[in-house]
Homo-oligomer: A and B are copies of this chain.
Amino acid sequence: MFNIALIGFGAVGKSFVKLLQLKKNLLPDNMKLKYIIKSDGGIYDKDGLDIDEIVKYTNSNNKIQKHPLWSNISFKDMIKNKDIDILVELTSTNIINGEPGYTHIKSALENNINVVTGNKGPILLYYHELKNISLKNDVYLKIGCTTGGALPSVNAGTIDVLGSQVTEIIGVLNGTTNFILEEMIKSNMDYKEALKKAQDLKIAEKDPSLDVLGIDTAIKMAILSKVIWDVDFDFEKLKIQGITNVRKKDLLDNISKKKTKLVGRAYFLNGNFEFEVKPMLLNKDHPLYFVDGKNKGVHYKTDILGDITVIGGASSPLNAAASIFRDLLYIIENRRR
């Protein structure tokens, strides 16, 4: 049996439910979505919610709070009911203390519930602890969506290099800054103009700090480092520099042979974990030189499989939901055997 609860019902959560409908043929007959929970209540059906009905309901812009099944049911009630195998955790991310995601994920794993999440905060802050609980209880903790959405960056750094040792991770993992830097060259704009354009196109957020200060890139690189090396460090102490001081003039130097991108690098030097995020010049023959526009990419150096690069970047809520769906199917396929 695959009984699923969804907590968090924003754009990605809604797209995820749509995928459960659209991709029904890939799901086992005994899969049920029993809960959709938000901070102020939720809907629940012990026999499984009617997915077609919910998609129709939300497509018509109806508030889930007005749904006939809506009650003040909470995450704690769900845990008490003991009728769930997989939790899909999609509440808003919080990188200060990881809540409420941290409590949700920890509590689920402790109750032998598999977890799929796209929530960066709890994974950044508590990955080591959460992973250990999942191993102890032999349940999955799948986090692919936290490090680039549709880009299979976690898979590439784990499953695709199984048996080899990753010796370095290099990532261009933020589409917004990639777009801004490219726009400064293509449209001959300075940083502020290009940021404004990205905001007008809804590529950058109103408060673009997380992206342009390099924090989003650093979070993704930090999570990949923890997943791949099981290394622990204080995120606050990492060297992180954004693109706010990049000048048009710097970008145009050597433009035929080099490109400036916001790059994250993590590796070990003399046994010490080294980490940096900053604008870097990439040579024309660098495997991430061509990761342009809204694309993202990550490059792994390994001991016995050579270098492996994966590039992707579809970043709509549906694409992020597809990343969650990929991790869900991975659990189902491996639990089915």
User: Which residue among A289, A304, A307, A314 has the maximum number of chain B CB atoms within 10 Å of its CB?
Assistant: A304
Contact at B312–A306, with CB atoms within 8 Å? yes
Question: Which of A40-48, A159-167, A217-225 touches B?
Answer: A159-167
Within A149-173, the residues touching B (CB, 8 Å) are: 150-152, 155-156, 159-164
Given A319-B304, A319-B306, also A160-B164 (CB < 8 A): no
Q: Are B306 and A313 in contact (CB under 8 A)?
A: yes
Give bound CA distance, A328 to B318, whole Å. Answer: 34
Interface string of A285-302 (1 = CB under 8 A from B): 101011010000000000
Given the known inter-chain contacts A290-B289, A309-B311, A334-B334, please indicate yes or no for A161 contacting B304, CB distance below 8 A. Answer: no
Flag if A330 contacts B162 (CB, 8 Å).
Answer: yes
Number of copies: 2
Contacts of A329 in B (CB 8 A): 162-163
A138 interface residue (CB < 8 Å to B)? yes
Query: Inside 8 A of A292's CB, which chain B residues have their CB?
Result: 285
- B-chain residues with CB within 8 Å of residue A22 when the two chains form the complex: 304
| A240 is an interface residue with CB less than 8 A from chain B | no
Closest residue of chain B to A293, judged by CB? Answer: B285
- The contact size tier of chain A is 35 or more
Tell me the bound Cα distance from A323 to B302 in angstroms.
12
The distance in angstroms between the C-alpha atoms of A326 and B333, with both chains bound, is 19
Min C-beta distance of A62 to chain B, whole Å: 24
Distance of A23 Cα from B19 Cα, bound (Å): 40
Q: Does A322 contact B (CB under 8 A)?
A: yes
Whether B138 pairs with A337 at a CB distance below 8 angstroms is: yes
Instruction: Take A155-B159, A285-B292, A290-B290 as given contacts and tell me if A311 and B308 are in contact as well, using a CB distance cutoff of 8 Å.
Output: yes
A26 at interface, CB cutoff 8 A: yes
Given A164-B322, A304-B318, A304-B322; A330-B290 close (CB under 8 Å): no
Q: Are B308 and A163 in contact (CB under 8 A)?
A: no
Question: 17 A–B contact pairs at CB < 8 A?
Answer: A19-B163, A19-B304, A22-B304, A26-B163, A138-B337, A156-B160, A159-B160, A162-B329, A163-B326, A163-B328, A285-B290, A285-B292, A304-B325, A307-B314, A309-B311, A311-B311, A334-B334
**Sample of 6 more A-B contacts, CB < 8 Å, known A160-B310, A164-B322, A305-B314:** A138-B337, A150-B306, A155-B155, A289-B290, A305-B322, A309-B311
Which A residues have a C-beta under 8 Å from some C-beta of B?
19, 22-23, 26, 138, 150-152, 155-156, 159-164, 285, 287, 289-290, 292, 304-314, 318-319, 321-323, 325-326, 328-330, 333-334, 337
